Amino acid sequence: MPITNGRQRALAALGVSLATAAAVSLAAAAPALADTADGTGTAAITFSTAYLTHLARAGVIVIADSPASSSATSGSDAFTFPVTGGNGTDTDFTGIVTLGGALTFIDASTGKTVRLTKLALNYFSGDITAVPAGTTKAINLASPSGALSTSNSAGPPSTETFASSDLDLANRGATYLDNHLKADQHRARRLFATNADISNNGAAFTITYAATYS
């Protein structure tokens, strides 16, 4: 199977910023190189207040659908999703970790809605993906970037944690939102710009889940 550019970027970034930490983590969790089954946990996508304000000025709001939830703090709004399963592992960046709940974008100016379901972290491509409601194919929604880190525990129970300081809107996600909301139809530039940093430059994305190795 070919290695995608997204995965190469993720692995390269981790290799540069976490060479020592990754070596220790791999040594401590050697069984993780076998098949992995992901258990319960949580993932948080953190939008910056500035980015949400940018959307709100165009009439677009973002809400979390149960069992996902959101909570606002100074300068950011964290959307938290339960981990529902998968086979992803940060020890060799393979597999997918699946999430529950959904993200819904509502365009008050047009009355149109985009509901993004079946969110997942795809370690192989280095993207957060989602399936728009009414469709069956996943799209790349955003890409963890900036400072990437892992912090794993042998437990019991064994857990894996992956985090990024930034989160960039992917081209397919940006294009899908623009085309289906039409929020930016009277503006010279797209509302959902590709590679826009939607995070608060600190704790953009964090996921922690139980990992069973076999």
Is the distance from CB of 109 to CB of 50 less than 8 angstroms?
no
Which residues make Cβ contacts (< 8 Å) with residue 112, sequence separation at least 6?
Answer: 180, 181, 182
What are the pLDDT digits (tens) for 39-75? 899 999 999 999 999 899 888 999 999 999 999 888 8
Q: Give the other-Cβ count within 10 Å of 188's Cβ.
A: 5
pLDDT band at 38 (very low <50, low <70, confident <90, very high): confident
Q: pTM of the entire structure?
A: 0.82
Contacts of 179 (CB under 8 A, 6+ apart): none
Q: Is the pLDDT of residue 10 over 60?
A: no
DSSP 72-131: EETTEEEEEEEEEEE--BTTTTBSEEEE-SEEEEEETTTTEEEEEEEEEEETTTTEEEEE
Whole domain around residue 145: which residue ranges?
5-213
How many domains, the chain?
1
In degrees, to the nearest 5, what angle opens at C-alpha 205 toward C-alphas 104 and 73? Answer: 75
Model pLDDT, residue 22: 39
Residues contacting residue 99 through CB under 8 Å, at least 6 positions apart: 43, 68, 81, 82, 83, 84, 118, 119, 120, 121
pLDDT in tens, 97-129: 999 999 999 998 888 999 999 999 999 999 999
Closest CA to 109 of 53, 59, 56, 52: 59
